[in-house]
Amino acid sequence: MAGKLRAGDKIVVASHNAGKVREIEALLAPLGIETIAASDLGLAEPEETGATFAENAVIKAVAAAEAANMPALADDSGLEVEALGGAPGIHSARWAGESKNFRRAMARIARELAEAGVVSNEPNRANFTCVLAIAWPLERVHLFEGKVFGHLVWPPRGDYGFGYDPIFVADDHEETFGEMEPAQKHAISHRAKAFEQFVAEIVEGRQ
Ligand code: IMP
């Protein structure tokens, strides 16, 4: 039986990524669920040793739930580029290096595509994937996955969002995620899709 959350409950957002924390808080606020970020509780960032988004989401959610003795919601996500065999994938954050330089990470994608000699008049297909994990202390973890498909553009466009948003255009759209107002991105993103399932299953009164 899945644990449940209801308005007034408080959970830890098990992420040290400010962009993600902001998006998750914006998704939870209308449900009346209060949040505190792992970094505001001074929780250490666990090492992401998993081989999949799901494994890493579980590592982060369980570590935060046990350290804080509260329910914890983690998000593991990334950009998968078809012509790069799904890279950077679970290494999306790591491609930005210690300094979290996403201009450099986006340039690496452009460079690796050029080096791979991808000769195509078609835009490069890519998708964002998000796996959400909700954990209660000493209980089972529940997972929800969302994907958004689209293509890459170069050079990057737009200052909204975070990470790889300026080079990703979702199918049936022309603006990059970096050019979209947050509410527009929230309506179609991988995170929003995973979140919809999380709400349907976990949030009391939303079934
Ligand atoms: P992690 O899940 O903390 O390992 O890192 C996920 C990384 O994927 C982020 O640092 C971003 O680089 C990238 N990413 C995940 N979701 C998004 C998004 O919505 N927009 C842009 N980049 C994203």
Angle formed at CA 30 by CA 203 and CA 127, multiple of 5 degrees: 80
The structural domain count of the chain equals: 1
Q: Which residues line ligand 1 (CB under 6 A)?
A: 17, 48, 76-79, 92-93, 128, 161-165, 177, 189, 191
- The answer to whether position 71 is within a domain reads yes
Indicate whether 85 belongs to any domain: yes
Query: How much is the pTM?
Result: 0.94
Domain presence at residue 1: no
Give the pLDDT confidence of 22-66 residue by residue, as tens digits: 989 988 999 999 999 999 999 999 999 999 999 999 999 999 999
| Catalytically active residues, by annotation | 76
Decide if 207 is inside a domain.
no
CA 90 to chain centre: 10
In a domain, 5, yes or no: no
Domain hosting 116: range is 10-202
Q: Whole-angstrom Cα distance, residue 131 to residue 141?
A: 12
Q: Which residue's CA is minimally distant from atom 1 of ligand 1?
A: 76
The 8-class DSSP code of residue 62 comes to H
Residue 38 belongs to domain with CATH number: 3.90.950.10
Tell me if 4 is assigned to some domain: no
Q: What's the distance, Cα to Cα, between the start and end of the chain in Å?
A: 14
Q: What is the pLDDT of residues 118-168, one digit of tens each?
A: 766 678 999 999 999 999 998 889 999 999 999 999 999 999 999 999 999
CA distances (Å), origin 93, targets 99, 157, 175, 187: 10, 19, 23, 23
